[in-house]
């Protein structure tokens, strides 16, 4: 019987021992995902579990055995950084491992090792992070016609396409650099609202109209305009060009700006005129003409002006001769300067005064009448 | 040939004594009193009407409008003056010489060291001054009441135009005074002189216009010739001269008197700007009329003078 018992015990041992031997005893540090892929610049938090299997309850010190260069690692439990953990027999404690990458991190694999050191038992957990290089957001600005031509009063309109070639939706700010006085506005095509920023989904493109209004006094020449789209770290530049061809602009006035003068009927009266070119291109072959009342003659000296450069003027003398029978009072006289399709006219108010000759004749008549009285006094005077 | 006797002293000696005496007579006489009341009433009524009818919103030449605004059936103040001024002038002059003669005071006056020249001119000037005094008083009254009612003072140009208007009116009165004195020298009966003066006045104010039209139709060549002849004849009448003068003086916007040439019409129509003429241009416009009135007064005085000098006054 004893044999049987010992044999049975032996069998039991044989059967049981392996089972006992296979159940690990000791400390285990574990995490469900010990190898992860992360984005550039991403901070990773990994949850760790420290288990005590079959050992006496004890205090276990936790620390980082290995940290990839430049990274910051911290172990936290209960919201605080911890250095040691108390683990009961057959119990486990959760910890968090926070891994902060250094700025300017390169893509690649980074290795960390966490170590738990108990009384006579220890455990190590290697963690591998693969930092993946990500495609940066990318913007592209395109236009078919980057150069436009026009006069200072033209609105230069450029059709551009803005494409987000990145993999993320990006809010794009639009900016423009233009010479002083130029106004640049962005509009969505077929829309009237001005936009300064717009979201563009990954891979999508937007059609924009860029309107450039030059200042009126802009001189003839080429003006570069740089348009910039900024979205996150991405930016796109587009160089546009506005070519302003000058335009002459005539203005008829007088040296003192008064558009009125006095003229004596039947006599030649001079009126000094000032023909200004307020435009941006020289005016050539300027002809002067007038629309005088019937019977008046208006002559100009000189009759034509060869050229007036921008922001310059020429002086012309107008000789106005109202007909001698003109009734006194105010008349309107229109004077026009015309040059190659442009013209300007000014209305002059001419106050006609009549000659005082007849006034003198009238006084003469009174003098004659008085003379007659004087003669009568001397002829018929009585003693 | 007998040498012409030479006069001793100035022919105008005693002139101012005559003027003073005559003016005193005029101003204290009952007939002047009656005329003054009539003129005063006229002025008050027409001024009242003008102030009632003053167009609102116009600020230009308000004071000149006081003289020219009328309301039916009453004519404007200037219209009344056209009638009243000849009347006053005739009343002042029709018996100036023949009255003295009939009262047999002429020889007595001339027995004083006063020449006939001084007597006639003195009487003429006294009449003119009296007329001027009455008209100036009324003018001042109208301007004063105008300031009182309108609350604004007249501008310098308005005052100048008003004074010119006064001058033209006095010159117009001078013509009728001169005419009345000619008749008072010519006719021994004051009634005849008065009747003759009033006849001339009625002739010019009523019949001359028609007559001028008839003559112009008969003698003028072509329409333009007719119009010109008509205008020329019409301007022989002092009434026309006076009416044209005050029209241009009191309405600064009047730019021409009489018919216009076609060219002038076109110029005004298409290029002209409606604006008041400056005073100098208005004055130049009516200068012929004004000088005509003044010269006519002087000429009528000269005629009366010659007649008087050649008259036998001892009776």
- Secondary structure element (H or E) that encloses residue A377, with its range: helix A357-380
pLDDT per residue as tens digits for the range B171-180: 999 999 999 9
Yes or no: say if A47 and A91 are a contact pair by the CB < 8 Å rule: no
What whole-number distance in Å separates Cα of residue B277 and Cα of residue A354?
11
DSSP structure string for B64-119: HHHHH--BTTBPPHHHHHHHHHHHHHHHHHTTTTHHHHHTT-HHHHHHSS--HHHH
Question: What 3-state DSSP class applies to A104?
Answer: coil
Supply A336's token pair.
């026009």
A363 touching B, CB under 8 A?
Answer: yes
Residue A77 scores a pLDDT above 80: yes
Q: Mean of the per-residue pLDDT values for chain B?
A: 86
Among A94-98, B59-63, B120-124, the least confident range = B59-63
Neighbours of B200 (CB within 10 A): 19
**B211-241 residue pLDDT tens:** 998 998 888 788 888 888 888 888 889 999 9
Distance CA A182, CA A353 (A): 51
Please tell me the distance from the alpha carbon of residue B178 to that of residue B94, in angstroms, as a whole number. 9
Per-residue DSSP letters for chain B?
Answer: -PPPPPPPS-TTTTHHHHHHHHHHHHHHSHHHHHHHHHHHHHHHHHHHHHHHHPPTT--TTHHHHHHH--BTTBPPHHHHHHHHHHHHHHHHHTTTTHHHHHTT-HHHHHHSS--HHHHHHHHHHHHHHHHHHHHHHHHHHHHHHHHHHH-SPPPHHHHHHHHHHHHHHHHHHHHHHHHHHHHHHH-SSHHHHHHHHHHHHHIIIIIHHHHHHHHHHHH--HHHHHHHHHHHHHTTSHHHHHHHHHHHHH-TT----SPPPHHHHHHHHHTEE--PPPHHHHHHHHHHHHHHHHHHHHHHHHHHHHHHHTS----
Q: State the pLDDT at residue B126.
A: 94
- Of A226, A245, A246, which is closest to residue A237 (Cα–Cα)? A226
pLDDT surpasses 80 at A82: yes
d(CA A99, CA A130) in angstroms, rounded, equals 12
pLDDT of residue A300: 92
The yes-or-no verdict on residue A20 having pLDDT over 60 is: no
Cβ <8 Å between A365 and B292: yes
Q: Are strands A250-253 and A269-277 parallel, antiparallel or unpaired?
A: antiparallel
Q: Which residues of chain B make contact with A363, given a CB cutoff of 8 A?
A: 291
Map out the domains of chain A as residue ranges.
25-132, 139-244, 250-353
A33 in Cβ contact with A53 (< 8 Å) = no
- Identify the sign of the CA torsion A243, A245, A251, A256: positive
Say how far apart CA B190 and CA A347 lie, in whole Å: 65
Q: What is the Rg, in whole angstroms, of the alpha carbon atoms belonging to chain A?
A: 51
Answer yes or no: do B298 and A370 touch at CB < 8 A.
Answer: yes
Least confident of A16-25, A47-56, A75-84, A360-369: A16-25
More confident residue, A374 or A137: A374
Give contacts of A362 with chain B, Cβ < 8 Å. Answer: 287-288, 290-292
For chain A, give percent helix, strand, coil, nearest 5: 10, 55, 35
Indicate if the pLDDT at residue A347 is higher than 70: yes
Terminal Cα-to-Cα distance of chain A (whole angstroms): 209
Q: What is the pLDDT of residue B163?
A: 93
Question: pLDDT tens digit string along B110-167?
Answer: 888 888 888 899 999 999 999 999 899 889 988 888 888 888 888 899 999 999 999 9
Rg of chain B in Å (alpha carbons): 22
Residue B124's pLDDT is what? 93
Query: B188, B185, B190, B192: which is closest to B305 by C-alpha?
Result: B185
Judged by CB atoms closer than 8 Å, whether chains meet at B298 and A369 is answered as yes
Q: Which two tokens stand for residue A123?
A: 């455990």
Taking residues A216-238, what's their average pLDDT? 82
* Residue from the list A353, A359, A376 with its beta carbon closest to the beta carbon of B306: A376
Q: Which CATH topology does A250-353 take?
A: Immunoglobulin-like (2.60.40)
ipTM: 0.72
| pLDDT the model gives residue B58 | 60
Model pLDDT, residue B149: 84
Consecutive H or E run containing A176: strand A170-177
B114 Cβ partners below 8 Å, 6+ apart? Answer: B13, B14, B17, B18
Quick one: pLDDT at residue B1? 45
Chain A nearest CA to B266, separation (Å): 7
pLDDT band at A377 (very low <50, low <70, confident <90, very high): confident
pLDDT at A261 over 80: yes
B267 — contact with chain A (CB < 8 Å)?
yes
Whether the per-residue pLDDT at B259 is higher than 80: the answer is no
The model's confidence at residue B100, banded by pLDDT at 50, 70 and 90, is: confident
What percentage of chain A reaches a pLDDT higher than 70?
A: 93
For residue A136, the model assigns a pLDDT of 64
Can you tell me which residue has the tokens 């006056």? B109
A25-132 belongs to which homologous superfamily?
A: Immunoglobulins (2.60.40.10)
* Superfamily classification of domain A139-244: Immunoglobulins (2.60.40.10)
Contact A362 B310 (CB under 8 A): no
Nearest CA in chain A to B309: A380
The residue ranking higher by pLDDT, A252 or A340, is A252
Question: Is A314 within 8 Å of A295 (Cβ atoms)?
Answer: no
Is the pLDDT confidence value at A164 over 50?
A: yes
Nearest to A320 by CA among A286, A295, A339: A295
Q: How confident is the model at residue B170 (pLDDT cuts 50, 70, 90)?
A: very high
Q: Do A250-353 and A139-244 have the same topology in CATH?
A: yes
Of B271, B273, B295, the CB nearest to A365: B295
Percent of chain A scored above 90 by pLDDT? 7
Residue A17 has pLDDT above 70, yes or no: no
What is the predicted pLDDT for the residue at A36? Answer: 85
Q: φ, ψ for residue A231 (rounded to 5)? A: -140, 110
User: Sign (positive/negative) of CA torsion A33, A35, A39, A41?
Assistant: positive
Could you report how far apart the first and last alpha carbons of chain B are, in Å? 29
Query: What whole-number percentage of chain B has pLDDT above 70?
Result: 95
Whether the CB of B272 is below 8 Å from some CB of chain A: the reply is yes
A108 pLDDT more than 50:
yes
Q: How do residues A276-290 score in pLDDT, each as one tens digit?
A: 988 778 888 899 999
- Chain B: nearest CA to A207, how far in angstroms? 57
Backbone φ and ψ of A113, nearest 5°: -130, 130
Higher pLDDT, A316 or B274: A316
Question: How far apart, in whole angstroms, are the C-alpha atoms of residue B294 and residue B296?
Answer: 5
Question: Coil, helix or strand for A120?
Answer: coil
**Model-wide pTM > 0.95:** no
User: Does residue B124 belong to the interface with chain A, where contact is any CB pair within 8 Å?
Assistant: no
DSSP state of A5: H
Please give the pLDDT value at position A294. 86
Closest CA to B181 of B88, B96, B83: B96
User: What is the interface size between A and B, counted as CB pairs within 8 Å?
Assistant: 116
Contact assignment for A358 to B288 by CB distance below 8 Å? yes
pLDDT confidence of A1, banded at 50, 70, 90?
A: low
């Amino acid at each position: 019987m004893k044999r049987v018992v010992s044999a049975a015990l032996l069998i039991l041992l044989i059967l049981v021992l392996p089972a006992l031997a296979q159940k690990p005893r000791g400390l285990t540090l574990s995490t469900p995902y010990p190898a992860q892929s992360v984005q550039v610049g991403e901070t990773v938090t990994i949850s760790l579990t420290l288990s005590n299997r079959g050992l006496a309850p004890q205090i276990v010190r936790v620390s980082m055995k290995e940290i990839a260069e430049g990274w910051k690692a911290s172990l936290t439990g209960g919201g605080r950084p911890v250095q040691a953990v108390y683990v009961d027999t057959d119990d486990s404690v959760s910890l968090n491992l926070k891994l902060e990458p250094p700025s300017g991190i390169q893509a690649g694999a980074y290795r960390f090792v966490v170590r738990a050191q108990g009384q006579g038992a220890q455990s190590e957990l290697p963690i591998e992070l693969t930092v993946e290089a990500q495609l940066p957001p990318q913007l592209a600005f395109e236009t078919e016609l980057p150069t436009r031509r026009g006069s200072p009063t033209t609105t230069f309109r450029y059709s551009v396409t803005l494409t987000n070639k990145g993999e993320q939706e990006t809010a794009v700010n639009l900016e423009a650099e233009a010479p002083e006085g130029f106004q640049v506005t962005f509009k969505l095509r077929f829309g009237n609202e001005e936009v300064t920023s717009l979201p563009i989904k990954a891979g999508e493109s937007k059609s924009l109209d860029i309107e450039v209004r030059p200042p009126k006094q802009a001189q003839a020449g080429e003006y570069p305009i740089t348009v910039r789209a900024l979205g996150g770290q991405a930016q796109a530049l587009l160089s546009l060009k506005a070519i302003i061809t000058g335009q002459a602009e005539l203005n008829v006035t007088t040296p003192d700006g008064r558009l009125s003068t006095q003229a004596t009927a039947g006599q030649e009266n001079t009126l000094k005129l000032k023909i200004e070119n307020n435009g941006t291109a020289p005016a050539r072959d300027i002809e002067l003409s007038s629309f005088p009342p019937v019977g008046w003659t208006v002559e100009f000296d000189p009759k034509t002006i060869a050229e007036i450069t921008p922001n310059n003027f020429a002086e012309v003398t107008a000789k106005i001769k109202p007909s001698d029978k003109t009734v006194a009072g105010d008349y309107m006289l229109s004077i026009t300067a015309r040059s190659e399709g442009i013209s300007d006219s000014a209305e002059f108010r001419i106050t006609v005064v009549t000659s005082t000759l007849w006034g003198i004749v009238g006084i003469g008549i009174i003098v004659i009448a008085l003379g007659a009285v004087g003669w009568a006094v001397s002829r018929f005077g009585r003693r | 040939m007998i040498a012409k006797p030479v006069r001793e002293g100035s022919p105008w000696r005693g002139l101012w004594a005559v003027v003073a005496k005559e003016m005193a007579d005029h101003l204290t006489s009952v007939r002047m009193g009656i005329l003054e009341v009539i003129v005063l009433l006229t002025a008050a009524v027409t001024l009242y009407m003008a102030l009632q009818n003053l167009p609102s919103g116009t600020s230009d030449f308000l004071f000149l409008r006081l003289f020219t605004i009328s309301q039916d059936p009453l004519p404007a103040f200037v219209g009344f003056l056209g009638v009243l001024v000849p009347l006053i002038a005739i009343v002042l002059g029709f018996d100036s010489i023949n009255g003295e003669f009939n009262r047999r005071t002429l020889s007595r006056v001339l027995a004083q060291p006063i020449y006939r020249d001084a007597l006639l001119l003195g009487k003429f000037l006294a009449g003119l001054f009296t007329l001027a005094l009455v008209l100036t008083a009324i003018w001042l009254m109208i301007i004063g009441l105008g300031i009182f009612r309108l609350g604004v003072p007249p501008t310098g140009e308005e005052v100048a135009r008003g004074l010119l208007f006064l001058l033209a009116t006095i010159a117009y009165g001078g013509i009728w005074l001169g005419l009345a004195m000619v008749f008072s020298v010519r006719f021994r009966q004051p009634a005849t002189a008065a009747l003759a003066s009033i006849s001339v006045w009625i002739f010019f104010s009523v019949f001359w216009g028609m007559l001028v039209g008839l003559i112009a139709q008969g003698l003028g060549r072509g329409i333009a010739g007719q119009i010109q002849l008509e205008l020329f004849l019409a301007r022989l009448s002092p009434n026309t001269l006076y009416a044209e003068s005050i029209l241009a003086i009191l309405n600064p916007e009047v730019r021409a008197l009489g018919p216009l040439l076609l060219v002038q019409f076109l110029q005004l129509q298409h290029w002209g700007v409606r604006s008041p003429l400056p005073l100098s241009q208005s004055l130049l416009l009516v200068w012929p009329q004004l000088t005509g009135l003044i010269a006519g007064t002087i000429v009528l005085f000269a005629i009366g003078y010659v007649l008087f000098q050649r008259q036998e006054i001892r009776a």
